[in-house]
Amino acid sequence: MSEYNWCHGPNCHTYSTQSRIRGSGDNKVLRTIKIKQGRYNYSGRPELITYDDYFCNQSCLMDFIRTHLTTVIAIAPRREPLETPIKVEKTKREDYKYVWNSGESRRVPYQATRTTIKSVDNDNG
Ligand SMILES: [Zn+2]
């Protein structure tokens, strides 16, 4: 694992920022940003790799995704939806709402329904 990566954003070297200027005199260029690996990794676990190690910012990340989306999707295409088993609980409760009528608001009681999604323990199934 090398210590630095070049930003993988396909347009990184075209953005006009002072941090990209290299060269001297009349031979100046905008250069792809060099990224120190683990620069935002505060976990103490250097094996954790994030996009921050390959892209100087989210703009460059999104440029990369737009350019290579079809290829990236082909790595792990989803042809069927995934499902997570749940239990849905509906409970009734008294609540109030405000109804406007002739420039006055009135507090009116009504029966509200609260929907709660509960996870299902798959280990017992
Ligand atoms: Zn970049």
Question: Which residues 6+ apart lie within 8 Å of 31 measured at CB?
Answer: 13, 20, 21, 22
- pLDDT tens, residue by residue, 33-62: 999 998 888 888 888 888 999 999 999 999
Distance 75 CA to ligand 1 centre (A): 23
3-state secondary structure of 56: coil
Question: What is the pTM assigned to this prediction?
Answer: 0.69
Helix or strand holding residue 5 (H, E) = strand 4-6
Distance 57 CA to ligand 1 centre (A): 6
- The DSSP 8-state label assigned to residue 10 in this structure reads T
- CA triplet 82, 86, 92: central angle to 5 degrees? 140
Number of residues assigned to the chain: 125
- The DSSP 8-state label assigned to residue 85 in this structure reads -
pLDDT value at 99 more than 50? yes
Distance 9 CA to ligand 1 centre (A): 5
Distance 20 CA to ligand 1 centre (A): 9
Distance 98 CA to ligand 1 centre (A): 51
Tokens of 105: 């608001």
Label residue 125 by pLDDT band (50, 70, 90): very low
CA distances in angstroms from 1 to 26, 42, 48, 51, listed in the order given: 36, 18, 12, 15
The mean predicted confidence, pLDDT, of the chain is 93
Whole-number Å distance between alpha carbons of 121 and 113: 25
Whole-number Å distance between alpha carbons of 29 and 40: 27
Distance 87 CA to ligand 1 centre (A): 45
Distance 27 CA to ligand 1 centre (A): 21
